[in-house]
Amino acid sequence: MRKIPVRIIVFILSVVASIIGSATILPFINPILSAIFILSLIAAVYQEKTGKQFENRTVLNIVSILGSVFFLSKLSLNNLITPIAETLTFLLSVKLIEKKDVRDFYQIFALSLFLFTASSIFLLNIKFLFLFILEAIIIITGTVLLTFLKENRKLKLSTKELTKILSFSIIFITVAIPLTIFFFIILPRTQAPLFNLIPQQKRVITGFSNSINLGGVSEIQESNTIFMRVSVKKLEKPPYFRSITFEKFFKNRWIHIKTERKKITIKGEKIYQTVILEPYGDKYLPLINIPYQISQIKAKREGSFFVYPKPVTKRVRYTGVSVLTNEIEEPLTEKEKKLYLSLPPMPEIEKFVKERFKNTPENQLPQEILKLFQKEYRYTLKGLPVSLKDFLLNVKKGNCEYFASAAAVIFRLKGIPARLVGGFYSGEYNPYGNYYLIMGKNAHVWVEYYRNGKWHHFEPTFAAGQETIQGTGEQTAQAVAQKKKSLKEKLFLLMDTLNYYFISTVINYDFTTQIKTFSKLRTSFSTFKKLPDLNVKSLLSKEETIYTATLLLLFVTLIILMKNRKTVVEEFYETLEKKGYVRQGNEPLETFVKRIDDKNLREKALEFVRIYQESFYRDEPICCKTLENLRNIIKEIKKGGEDGPAS
């Protein structure tokens, strides 16, 4: 059977551990340092292949000290993680190009582990869990192999022996995970972090702030970057998600103007939702249209939407209530009506609207606008007009901002107050996790016009023959939802579901969640104590009962096996005892064996003692080939004569 040198295996594992440990951090540290690390990996592989090692440790030690001082000099209370991560990356880079002995491999594994621990700050999703398990298996396997390499630098192992060691690593991690989960649940959390260790996360650009330029969302609508996940039952129609309203139009730009706070009335079916919002750098909190209430987060109502006290620079989670309606009752003052009718001078557009809608009654204006757009305009993200005038009079094609802006301006020129609403439309409903996945490409702008004391929802963009925001050609959102998903799309949704639950249960497991969990357990326990005639079947379904019983059976079996598990020496004593030879008290092993009368049996026993003591006194683990040889000797002893010692 072909055998592989242990040193080569350890080197490969050390390189893989280094890559996993640093992969997440490299984009967040100095680009020059990232390049140095990659070059160090290449150099390490070259050195191992050619046998040319850099042996001057003094030079490398000096470089390590100077580099550590340089990177740690940037350390501050507001910037803790990045300098530490850069220092670890630099030390690992130096260690990779150094001549590698057993202790050097130990250090590479340790640095990789520390670096991976730091990466948990940067990688707050399900990928971290998978990489953690992989990194742990690699480091445990490498550490076990290093114990063998320490005693025999030329040791080689067969594939079968390597498989056994790898299996041990996997079993170790499998046993450790439940314990880790247990401590994760019970260890106390603080209501606020002791230090602000988490660096500012990468922001999702949505195109929405307190102002919006015409054409400013077009690049966003081509992005697949995830903006938020909204856990809610699937709605009959693709939902709108409201973020902000824009009241003033000036120089091809819409601006949000705060108006007097007053009570608004929203009537309709209430829908409950939970939102996980990615960091994006502004303070607006989207909810399904129309937002009614928000909780689990500090927020205040600003007209028909909610805002956070500060820009969202870290992932936030909140619950909300929305009302499924297209109308908002809100009394407007004369000053507010004037705001919603105000426009900058635009003589060409005024002339166009006056001629086109000269005889159009106020109540028919929305339908006439839709007819105009449907007949003469089309939706596109390419070759956008330079202005609203260019869109209406010349190019006659654009994205949602142009259609919404044109409709709002037409309403205002006809004496009807109107405003733009910024947010998102449709999204991808994930049936595996029961939530809407909202991306940058779902960014959308629509219109609300004011009539009879109410704001009315108006969607002008879809009149151009496209009922989705991006990526579906002429298909409607409903058609997209009914379209059979490819394997790639299904896998993406499955992975995102895992990521969603990881964020919900692990990343967002804070002090409040912990208290709620303990309260539920206490309530369940109290209920349990009040039920002396508890019927387990009434609490557990058939599948749950089978699952629980199976787990208990496996747990009991594992305990029994571990309790009854014999060492190779105990098995040796037991075998000889069956042959009639019993060890007396603390009698030395070799003395005991020499008392055996049967020559063949004594020689085999002495061979066992020799192999065992060689490994024992060299402080070598009894494993793999040695253990196999010892067990073979025991088998040969068992096959010997059944008679006891000579009388």
Q: What is the reported pLDDT for 552?
A: 62
Local confidence band at 194 (pLDDT 50, 70, 90 cut-offs): very low
Strand intervals (E) in 155-290: 156-158, 211-213, 226-231, 240-246, 248-249, 253-255, 269-277, 284-285, 287-288
Q: Give bridge partners of residue 207 from the DSSP assignment.
A: none
Closest to 388 (Cα-Cα) out of 331, 357, 348, 330:
348
Q: Give bridge partners of residue 481 from the DSSP assignment.
A: none
d(CA 106, CA 113): 11
Strand intervals (E) in 340-493: 378-379, 397-398, 418-425, 428-430, 435-439, 443-451, 454-458
The residue that leads in pLDDT, 531 or 450, is: 450
Local confidence band at 307 (pLDDT 50, 70, 90 cut-offs): very high
Q: What are phi and psi of 324, to 5 degrees?
A: -80, 95
Burial of 484 (0-12, 13-18, 19+ CB in 10 A): exposed
pLDDT tens digits for 155-172? 888 888 888 888 888 888
Q: Is the pLDDT of residue 124 over 90?
A: no
Q: Is the pLDDT of residue 547 over 50?
A: no
**Amino acid occupying residue 467:** E
Q: What is the reported pLDDT for 436?
A: 96
C-alpha distances in Å from residue 621, one per residue of 117, 149, 158, 433: 30, 11, 17, 48
Q: Is the pLDDT of residue 598 over 70?
A: yes
pLDDT tens digits for 360-398? 999 999 999 999 999 999 998 888 899 999 999 999 999
Q: What percent of the chain has pLDDT over 90?
A: 42
| Least trusted range by pLDDT, from 21-35, 242-256, 516-530 | 516-530
The residue that leads in pLDDT, 65 or 183, is: 65
The residue that leads in pLDDT, 580 or 12, is: 12
In whole angstroms, how large is the CA radius of gyration of the chain?
35
Residues in the chain: 647
The torsion angle over the Cα atoms of residues 371, 373, 374 and 377, rounded to 10 degrees, is: 150
Global pTM exceeds 0.85: no
pLDDT tens digits for 444-483? 999 999 999 999 999 999 876 554 444 333 334 444 455 6
Instruction: Say if CB 259 and CB 247 are below 8 A apart.
Output: yes
Helix (DSSP H) and strand (DSSP E) numbers for the chain: 21, 22
Q: What is the reported pLDDT for 475?
A: 38
| Least trusted range by pLDDT, from 101-115, 187-201, 553-567 | 187-201
Averaged pLDDT score across all residues of the chain:
82
C-alpha distances in Å from residue 405, one per residue of 60, 228, 252, 338: 64, 26, 9, 18
d(CA 58, CA 62): 6
Closest to 90 (Cα-Cα) out of 54, 145, 38, 125:
38
Q: What percent of the chain has pLDDT over 70?
A: 78
